[in-house]
Amino acid sequence: MHLAYPAVLSSLLFCTGLYGVLARRNAILVLMSVELMLNAVNLNLVAFDVWLSKAARDTLHSGQALTLFTIAIAAAEIGIGLAIVLAVYRGRGTSDIDKLRDTAESPDDGAPDGSAPDGSAPDAGAEAVTDEKAEATA
């Protein structure tokens, strides 16, 4: 078998996965695209290992061993990634990546004693803002 066949298939799989990472908005589909890219790399590793083992008789099959490590790492990555996606989905109600940009808390929300970050009372200007909003809607 020629090396060109698995190399072309691997490049097509990698390009498909890259398109999925760049074009998709759902976090689970992005994780699946990353897995597709990793499988393309695994196919390349095995194909080159078989191709190089024909040249030397005493080989260690290091490409196949590296593929096993890559599969194990990919399984762990998917487990952790799905756990994160499920936790975010439970907290926010969506797994759309564009809607999850603002995951950090704003500085106003993190005041521990209920006061504003500048040290003023929390409702010092709230009445004025409410009055302005009421006048603007009237």
Dump pLDDT digits (tens) for 11-38: 999 999 999 999 988 888 999 999 999 9
> Could you tell me how far CA 49 lies from the centroid of its own chain?
30
Which letter does DSSP use for residue 106 in this model?
P
pLDDT at residue 9, as a whole number: 95
- Does the pTM surpass 0.85? The reply is no
Span 54-90, pLDDT tens digits: 766 666 778 888 899 999 999 999 999 999 999 988 9
Transcribe 66-95 into DSSP letters.
HHHHHHHHHHHHHHHHHHHHHHHHHHHS--
- Could you give the 3-state DSSP secondary structure of residue 112? coil
